[in-house]
């Protein structure tokens, strides 16, 4: 019986250590991801913008729901064609829950020389050691 208790104790210790050793998305990783994304948006690079998302990510926008990195890339290609430029984001709330980070903020840009802005939420996870968006919802502010 004591041998079973020791074995169970060791197993619980191993599980606890594994859970505690899980990497977390850091603020620096979030900032770097946003910096790369904004730079890619402003140069019209849909490949780099889509790479900010996990392979099975979901993106909800006023234009529709896009599931998977390929569909998200096509949505960015269409957005770039609209001519939005001078794009920027401001993360105003960031909260960790286990392996997830919930971000909330604002975005702005210029469309045909008119200011344009809105709001976003994003769930960010580590994917291949990099911060990636698992789910994003984008809204356009009412005029």
Output the average pLDDT for the chain. Answer: 87
Q: Residues 111, 117: contact at Cβ < 8 Å? A: no
pLDDT in tens, 67-100: 999 999 999 999 889 888 899 999 999 999 999 9
Region class of 44: left (phi > 0), else alpha (psi between -120 and 50), else beta: left
Domains of the chain: 23-140 (3.10.450.50)
pLDDT in tens, 103-132: 999 999 998 889 999 999 999 999 999 999
Mean pLDDT, residues 131-135 taken together: 97
Q: Residues 63, 75: contact at Cβ < 8 Å? A: yes
Q: What is the pLDDT of residue 56?
A: 97
* pTM > 0.85: no
pLDDT in tens, 26-46: 999 999 999 999 999 999 999
Q: Residues 40, 79: contact at Cβ < 8 Å? A: no
If pLDDT is split at 50, 70 and 90, which confidence band does 22 have? low
DSSP string, the chain: -HHHHHHHHHHHHHHHHHHHT-----HHHHHHHHHHHHHHHHHT-HHHHHHTEEEEEEEEETTEEEESHHHHHHHHHHHHHHT-EEEEEEEEEEEEETTEEEEEEEEEEEETTEEEEEEEEEEEEEETTEEEEEEEEEEEPP-
């Amino acid at each position: 019986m004591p041998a079973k208790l020791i074995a169970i104790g060791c197993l619980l210790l191993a599980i606890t250590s594994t859970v505690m050793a899980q990497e977390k998305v850091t603020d620096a990783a979030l900032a770097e991801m946003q910096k790369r994304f904004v730079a890619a948006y402003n140069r019209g690079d849909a490949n780099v913008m889509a790479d900010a998302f996990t392979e099975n990510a979901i993106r909800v926008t006023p234009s529709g729901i896009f599931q998977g990195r390929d569909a998200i890339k096509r949505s960015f290609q269409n957005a770039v064609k609209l001519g939005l430029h001078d794009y920027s984001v401001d993360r105003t709330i960031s909260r960790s829950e286990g392996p997830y980070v919930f971000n909330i903020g604002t975005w702005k840009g210029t469309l045909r020389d008119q200011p344009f802005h809105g709001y976003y939420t994003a769930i960010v996870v580590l994917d291949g050691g990099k911060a990636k968006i698992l789910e994003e919802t984008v809204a356009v502010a009412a005029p």
